[in-house]
Structure 1
Amino acid sequence: MAQRETWTSRIGFIFAAVGSAVGLGNIWSFPFQTAANGGAAFLVVYLLAVFLIGFPTMMVEFVIGRRGEQNPVAAFGKLGYGNWSFAGGLGVLSTLVTLSFYSVVGGWVLSYIVGSATGAYFGDAGAYFGSVASGPTAIAAHGIFMLVTIGIVASGVTDGIERATKFMIPAILVLLVALGAWATTLDGASAGYSYYLSPDFSVIANNFGSIVPPAMGQAFFTLSLGFSVMIAYSSYLGRDDSLPADGGAIVVVNTMVALLAGFVVFPLLFATGGAEGAGGGAGTAFIAIAGAFGQLPAGGAIGFVFFAVLLFAALSSSISLLEVPVSYVTENYGYSRSTTAVAMGLGIALIGVPATFGTSWLGFYNDVVFKLLLPISVFLLAVFVGWVADTEAVDELGRGSTIGESFTTAWLWWVRVVVPLAVVVTLYLGIDALYTGLTNGAYF
């Protein structure tokens, strides 16, 4: 059997993990989820979810992955708990469903890069979205995006994923900072910042049931939790790396990118009058931002940079989503990485074709993942680490780190009690929202 690949450096792992976390969820979904759910009120709930639930859960996936040194399904067997492999399998399923529609949105980004260069969306942003979001153009762009993703994953952990993310993550940060600086010059910047950063806590109190599920789902999605991605990535780690330090760096950088995206999007929308329609879902998000660029001097150039950032973010996440099933198949069944990446990638692309027929399918896929699959997966992993493999987890968390016993003990009890309770509440609210959407015809 060929020797299993590992990251060439600690920074390589951090960039890859940040790349998984920093995706469309941060730059596309986060600002528009914020707009749709009360502005700064949503931001407060989201940040609490990231640091109080997201970070401890990331440590859960890290200890399973590094301790098991296998793909997300086989890792449980390596730990001596093979009957829990279904928990990793659910993460694999989540990656398959998510990448199938995520790549469709990635295809939209490709179309908008072209549209920025040609000015195609300047005249009528809504009509342009309609022309690229469904039909042959959407199918072709979806396919191209998946082919790029397949090519990177097929090249391997070191030569493909690590090399690509070492380029894309710095590029995202530099370009977002530049766009954020540009956004401060817009006439509507102050109003945008106020909406984004001045929370009305009565909005949280009056809309708790509708804000918490998307905020928690957004936190899981943007940190790649529940997909078993972090189990897969941490399985390539060395024993001497500090999991809390690496996890903290990943969470902070990921959150910085999401916040930076808001500092670009909200001034832009308020400057051009597009803020009211920004929270209407996948389609209106693209229409609002493209319409805003169409109203500004040099809007094509700025739009090109913005959608280039979005493309890097989309790819850095899509390769992590494909890596999970690819690592499972190659390690469990012995197929080559390149063959598996091509076969899995093409299969996922086919699953996503219905999402190229209209945004209703995409919205349904998205809600199934956010409100159902990810919370269930996180709940199972928390229970496993907190109550089943607790001894191994505490030992693994302390390896390569200077943290004391008080930290590991507090983390363990937080994972045992707080994380499952928070996820159960989120899951209940999410299932209720999903059921309501199905019964009132919101999807189809």
Structure 2
Amino acid sequence: MSNSNAERETWSTRIGFILAAVGSAVGLGNIWRFPFQVGQEGGAAFIVMYLAFVVLIGFPAMMVEFVVGRSTGLNAVGGIREFAGGAWKYLGGLFVFIGFVILSYYSVVGGWVLRYVFGSATGGYIGTAGPDEAPVAQQYFFDIASGLDALLFHALFMALVVLIVALGIKRGIELGVKIMVPAIIAIFAILAVYASTLSGAGEAYAYYLSPDLGYLIDNWKSIVPAAAGQGFFTLSLGMGVMITYASYLSEDENLGIDGGTIVAFNTGISILTGLIVFPILFSAGVSPGDPGAGAIFVSVAEALGDLQFGRAIGVLFFATVAIAALSSAVSLIEVVVSYAIDEFNVPRVRATAIIGTLIFALGIPVTIDPVMVDLYDIFAAKILLVLGGILLVTAVSWIYSDKALAELSKGIGSFSGIGTVWLWTVRVPVLVVLIISLYLGIDSFIDFLAGPFAEFLA
């Protein structure tokens, strides 16, 4: 039996909701995943496609999740069941599963970040390797990315997430993001100014901000699914987060303004991250295009070792990344926790502890080798997230459009006519792009299985 809406917690302020949603969007997706996606997909060519996807596809898709969450006041499973009913109710289960999968490897990467905070303070990844040895930064990553070290820091990261979420919406999530999100923005702004003074800043900006349209045309089959997956991942779409967070909203909130604010903050911080990372890499002569989930750790660590004040910058950078990772992880586990609370009346503390333990267990295989992070990430971000988006967009915009328009119109006053524009944007271009992205994502996943993953198994 599910709880009634009246028994659920709500955001104490509108800014609390916006910061929580921004905190969900601003995390490892922006700071870990975004730079290595940019590096692998041609620099500014990827940026062009990513920005187009976020504005034209991501924002309308976010409104889809908002109307489901606020209109029902329920978690992802209960919300979709009440909004659409029938077989659509199983879509909520897919969202819960996606949250499980993503957080399981996200927590391992979060553990890496915590480990790098300590490594920056001690200079663990700084030094000169012998003639027959791997570079110190590369060897450091290999040492901490798998095995007991990775397992212990995976456990530490998940314990911090569980602690925050167990405290509830107002005392845990909302209070946490009101501290974490402004801290992320302030520290990253300072680091971006510092990065602009480095010797490689000009070259980095040219790589990062001057798109090669010829490269984009030649490599669109790779760039499109990468941009789609990154857009959905970084906006926390297709996994039930925005449904869950919107379920705590009142009816007088303007969903369009809130969504636009969230998208703007999230995109701005992604771009800001590149303005930090790429000048550091180019100043140290480090390639930004090395593939793999660990590339950004190795590259940044190697570059910091060659910079004046490298240790202090490393501590500040990786500590900020850790804060961002926590803010996003909190939103992912809340999807599953709210499901347990609403559907089974499980007390929040118990639900959070049990779910955190299960997600930790699912992440254990990821601590074996970094290639498992790539496996989980490609499957979740390029296939599951986009598939979930396709199904939800279809249900809301084509089958239950009247309910969606009625919900969207609440709180937007004289701008109510914009609902029709939004509806047809979601029905056609958004859906078409998502279907193409899913096809290309499946193709890239098959290539990964036949390539890097097959080499790992061998």
The two structures have a TM-score, normalised by structure 2, of 0.95
Question: Structure 2 matches for 1:335-346, cutoff 5 A?
Answer: 335-346=346-357
Shift of 1:351: 0.5
Structure 1: where are the runs of 5+ without partners? none
Are 2:258 and 1:258 equivalent residues in the alignment? no
Which residue matches 2:446? 435
Question: Structure 2 matches for 1:33-48, cutoff 5 A?
Answer: 33-48=37-52
- Asked whether the 8 Å contact 1:34–1:279 carries over to 2, the reply is no
> Residue 314 of structure 2 is aligned with which of 300, 303, 306?
303
For 2:294, give the aligned amino acid.
G
- Asked whether the 8 Å contact 1:232–1:327 carries over to 2, the reply is yes
> Residue 105 of structure 2 is aligned with which of 79, 85, 101?
101
> Residue 33 of structure 2 is aligned with which of 4, 26, 29?
29
- Asked whether the 8 Å contact 1:6–1:236 carries over to 2, the reply is yes
Instruction: Report Cα offsets for 1:55-74 as digits up to 9, x if no partner.
Output: 00000000000001001111
Are 2:457 and 1:420 equivalent residues in the alignment? no
Helix, strand or coil for the counterpart of 1:169? helix
Q: How many percent identity over aligned positions?
A: 48
Distance 1:259 1:189 in 2: 15
Q: Judge which range, 433-442 or 208-217, deviates more.
A: 433-442
Q: Judge which range, 78-87 or 27-36, deviates more.
A: 78-87
Distance 1:180 1:441 in 2: 34
Instruction: Report Cα offsets for 1:385-404 as digits up to 9, x if no partner.
Output: 11111011101111011353
Instruction: Tell me the number of residue pairs that the alignment of Structure 1 and Structure 2 aligns.
Output: 443
Instruction: Report Cα offsets for 1:215-255 as digits up to 9, x if no partner.
Output: 11000000000011000000000111100000000000000
- Asked whether the 8 Å contact 2:84–2:400 carries over to 1, the reply is no
Shift of 1:82: 4.6
Structure 2: where are the runs of 5+ without partners? 128-135
Distance 1:102 1:127 in 2: 22
Shift of 1:76: 2.4
Which residue matches 2:130? none
Distance 2:372 2:38 in 1: 22
For 1:363, give the aligned amino acid.
D
Distance 1:153 1:239 in 2: 25
Are 2:78 and 1:61 equivalent residues in the alignment? no
Which residue matches 1:19? 23
Q: Judge which range, 188-197 or 84-93, deviates more.
A: 84-93
Instruction: Report Cα offsets for 1:110-169 as digits up to 9, x if no partner.
Output: 000000111111111111111110111100000000000000111101111000000000
RMSD: 1.1
Shift of 1:309: 1.0
Question: Structure 2 matches for 1:69-88, cutoff 5 A?
Answer: 69-79=73-83, 81-88=85-92
Distance 2:417 2:83 in 1: 24
> Residue 174 of structure 2 is aligned with which of 136, 142, 162?
162
Distance 1:142 1:181 in 2: 32
Following TM superposition, the consecutive aligned residue runs of length 4 or more in structure 1 with deviations greater than 4 angstroms are none
> Residue 213 of structure 2 is aligned with which of 201, 206, 219?
201
For 1:347, give the aligned amino acid.
L
Distance 1:206 1:277 in 2: 20
For 1:416, give the aligned amino acid.
R
Shift of 1:439: 2.4
Distance 1:438 1:130 in 2: 22
- Asked whether the 8 Å contact 2:281–2:288 carries over to 1, the reply is no
The two structures have a TM-score, normalised by structure 1, of 0.98
Which residue matches 2:138? 126
> Residue 267 of structure 1 is aligned with which of 265, 279, 284?
279
> Residue 197 of structure 2 is aligned with which of 178, 182, 185?
185
Distance 1:264 1:371 in 2: 26
For 1:315, give the aligned amino acid.
L
- Asked whether the 8 Å contact 1:132–1:138 carries over to 2, the reply is yes
Shift of 1:25: 0.7
> Residue 316 of structure 1 is aligned with which of 323, 327, 336?
327
Which residue matches 2:403? 392
- Asked whether the 8 Å contact 1:71–1:324 carries over to 2, the reply is yes
Which residue matches 1:377? 388
> Residue 378 of structure 2 is aligned with which of 367, 390, 396?
367
Distance 2:307 2:25 in 1: 31
Q: Judge which range, 126-135 or 144-153, deviates more.
A: 126-135
- Asked whether the 8 Å contact 2:366–2:372 carries over to 1, the reply is yes
For 2:229, give the aligned amino acid.
G
